[in-house]
Every structure is written in structure tokens, then in C-alpha cells.
Amino acid sequence: MKFTCNTFDLSEACQIVQRAASTKTALPSVEGILLSAENGKLTLTGYDLEMGIITEIPCSSQEDGKIVINARMLSETLRKLPNDSVRIETDVRQIATIESGEFKTTIIGMNADDYPELPSISGGYDVELSHKVLKDMIRKTIFSAAVKDSKIVHTGVKFEIEPGHIRLVAVDGVRLAIRNENIAYTGEELTFVVPAKTLSEVIKLLTDEDEDKVNISVGKRHITFSIGAYYIISRLLDGEFLNYKGAIPSAAKTVVKVNTNEFLDSIDRTSLIITDRIKSPIKCIFADNSIIMSSNASIGASNDKIAAEITGEEITIGFNNKYMIDALRVCDTDEVKIILNSPVAPILVVPVEGEEFIFLILPVRLKNEN
């Protein structure tokens, strides 16, 4: 194999594709990037047996061929090259020679025949979304996906798609995030769970533009996202997802309307004495059109008070500061509505109008509270 291409283009592609390469495996080839030069195009593939990222860039190919090169070594080398152009040549011993300007290095590669074949999707269902919508939907749910769970299905985000509507849901046992959106979809109803790891890579490639479109193809076991010049393929998670609809309270004994940033800043201030080592809930009293917050730890105490519009019963409740901050940070509305029922019932954070998002947080029982 022998080709020449733009150093920046190749380096940028490798930086992205290498995120799908495995770092801990007994199969050395999946620690690498598969390079395939053919007909003036260079295809790059990273695959850790669960998720793959593929892209292609233009190149001047003097000799078509394939090779696998360690992803970290290749990416670091390309990032530090001195010239705008890079030339890569391989020989029958799978040794890759990389040249740029006066710089020259060799890297021992691996046979492309040893690289695992990526799964393909046939007869799948196609969905098109704008970059902006999908990015916002992932941003508002992925933080609630479980990191570790006895049910691996909860380490992903559930997609529910039906004609005209899409819903994303994530849950980790102590909180729930839901994001709803109306879309121009006329196909069959679809339900599947995408690993949070995959979506964290998808969101990095999405823009904030409505005009940019991402094409999603859903099969029985795998899903693909076509985003610009990049193609991400991932396995889907199997298992029974939580019946989240039954967890959302239908009653509302206390309804609080509060400025989002003021509430967020107040919790942030009151949480300063809370650390990973010193865990303590935020105590919150909702009464007389004000929210009184306090936290107590072995190193001190904090108190704060902000104004709010409160309808219903006075209530005192405790919650994990991080979970509430995570939810409020992704709220793009000036105000949010907090729905409460008792000191031990779930806390709901929703928009003042509509159901674009729903965040549910389980409370923390306060000491000396019945």
C-alpha cells in the first residue's frame, strides 16, 4: 500500500476513529485502526467489537492496499507531523513507513485479514433527525443512564419512536430523564436501547444546526448513525427496561415555579461543603413563596434562600445535590416547575409549559424526618 494525503485531514479522522478502538483486549488488531486505500479514497475504521466508527478521506493512492496500525501510536504520530502532506507506505512484512517533510518513522502494523468484520444492517428501519434535535435529546438524558447496573440495559438510553414523535429515556435507579420531541416520521413504531457509550460519541459529531441531518438505521441487533462523513455502528442492548411510566407521580400536592439559574446557583452555593468524601443531602423547605436551602457536614454548614412561586402545601424534602444540579444544567428554559407530593415521593422537574422534558429524582430521607 502506498498513498499520500493531507496531514490535517488524516490526523483529524484518526483522532475521531480511534475512540472506537479498544484499549483493553486480548485481540491486538482491535487496538488498531484499519486503513484501506482504494480508488483515491482512504477508509479508516475503528471497532471494539461493540461499537465501530468509519470514515473516508481523499488520498492520492499509488498502490491500493490495507493495513492495521495501533490507534494510539498512529494518532500521536500524525498529530506531531511537521508538513501539510503525509506519505504512508507498507511492505509485505506489515511495516508502515510514515514520511512528512524531513521526518520519517516506521511502525510495525498488523495484517488487515485479522481485523474483525463489522456487522451490517439489512431490512432495518430508517429515521432522519436534525443534528440540533438529536444532540439536545441526548444531552438531556444521557447523564441519567446507569454507569453500573445489574441490568446492563439501564446503561443505555431507550428510544421510543412512533409516527410523528420520538422519546428518549434514561434511568439509573435513583433518577429518570425523559425528552420528548415531535418529528416528521411516518414509519412503524420502534423501541430499542442504545449504549450510553455510543451516544457519547454520537453527540461529539453533531452540530447545533437544524439544517444538518443525521440518518439513523435500526436493525434487530445493531444501529447505525450517519453523521456527515462519519458512520457509527453499534450493538443494541437487550433486556427489560424499567416501566418508567408507572414511576411518574400523577398527583401534585405542591407546585413550585422558580427561575432555573437562581435555583441552580443556590444549590451550587449551598453544596460547597459537600464533597465525595463528605456526603450530605440538601435540605429544602418550600413555603411562603420561598425556597430555603441548607446543608450540614462535619466541616460546616450552609444556608440560602431564594424567591419562588409556590402553590399548595408547605413541604420539606432532601435531595442529592449532584442529581438536581445535573438536571437543572440541561434545562434551557428560564423557569422550571418543581412538582412535590411528600418528603419520600419522587421530585419532578418539568417545563412551566408542555412536556418537552421530565426529570425525576428520588429524595433523600432527612434525619429526624418521619
The model's pLDDT over 34-66, given as tens digits with 9 standing for 90+, comes to: 999 999 999 999 999 999 999 999 999 999 999
**Which three cell numbers, joined as nine digits, stand for 313?**
402545601
**Quick one: 232 and 182 in the same domain?**
yes
- Contact of 306 with 260, CB cutoff 8 Å: no
Report d(CA 160, CA 313) in Å as an integer. 35
Those residues with Cβ within 8 angstroms of residue 262's Cβ, 6 or more apart along the chain or in another chain: 306, 307
Report d(CA 68, CA 90) in Å as an integer. 10
Higher-confidence residue: 273 or 204? 204
Higher-confidence residue: 367 or 99? 99
pLDDT at 277 over 80: no
Specify the DSSP class assigned to residue 280. Answer: -
Strand pairing class (315-319; 282-287): antiparallel
**Quick one: 78 and 174 in the same domain?**
no
pLDDT at position 267 is: 96
Terminal-residue alpha carbon distance, the chain: 73
pLDDT at position 368 is: 66
pLDDT at 230 over 80: yes
Residue 72 lies in a domain: yes
- Contact of 257 with 276, CB cutoff 8 Å: no
Residue 235 lies in a domain: yes
**Quick one: 254 and 349 in the same domain?**
yes
Helical segments of 228-316, H only: 260-270
Residue 169 lies in a domain: yes
Instruction: Please give the sequence-ordered ranges of beta strands (E in DSSP) within 278-354, or none if there are none.
Output: 282-287, 290-297, 300-307, 309-312, 315-319, 335-340, 347-351
**Quick one: 164 and 94 in the same domain?**
no
Residue 199 lies in a domain: yes
**Quick one: 30 and 100 in the same domain?**
yes
CATH code for the domain of 300: 3.10.150.10
Report d(CA 171, CA 108) in Å as an integer. 44
Residue 140 lies in a domain: yes
pLDDT digits (tens, 9 = 90+) for 66-96: 999 999 999 999 999 999 999 999 999 999 9
Q: How confident is the model at residue 273 (pLDDT cuts 50, 70, 90)?
A: confident
pTM of the model: 0.94
**Quick one: 228 and 270 in the same domain?**
no
Torsion sign (Cα): 124, 56, 73, 106: positive
pLDDT at position 369 is: 47
Average pLDDT over residues 216-227: 96
**Quick one: 6 and 101 in the same domain?**
yes
What share of residues in the chain are helix, strand, coil (percent, to 5)? 20, 45, 35
Question: Considering 87, 114, 141, which residue would you say is the last residue of a domain?
Answer: 114
**Which three cell numbers, joined as nine digits, stand for 80?**
506531531
Using a pLDDT cut of 90, give the percent of the chain over it. 89
Residue 300 lies in a domain: yes
Question: Considering 114, 146, 163, which residue would you say is the last residue of a domain?
Answer: 114
**Quick one: 273 and 319 in the same domain?**
yes
- Contact of 291 with 342, CB cutoff 8 Å: no
Residue 64 lies in a domain: yes
* Radius of gyration for the chain, computed over Cα atoms and rounded to the nearest angstrom: 25
Report d(CA 78, CA 342) in Å as an integer. 58
SS3 116: coil
**Quick one: 217 and 262 in the same domain?**
no
pLDDT at 307 over 60: yes
Instruction: Please give the sequence-ordered ranges of beta strands (E in DSSP) within 91-144, or none if there are none.
Output: 95-100, 103-108, 125-130
Question: Considering 181, 209, 244, which residue would you say is the last residue of a domain?
Answer: 244
**Quick one: 108 and 71 in the same domain?**
yes
CB burial string 189-210: b at 16+ within 10 A, e below: ebebbbbbbbbebbbebbeeee
**Whole domain around residue 109: which residue ranges?**
2-114
Residue 295 lies in a domain: yes
**Quick one: 162 and 95 in the same domain?**
no
Helix axes 131-139, 196-205, angle to 10 degrees: 140
Around Cβ 186, how many Cβ atoms within 10 Å?
7
Q: Look at the chain and report how many structural domains it folds into.
A: 3
**Quick one: 349 and 268 in the same domain?**
yes
Average pLDDT over residues 248-262: 96
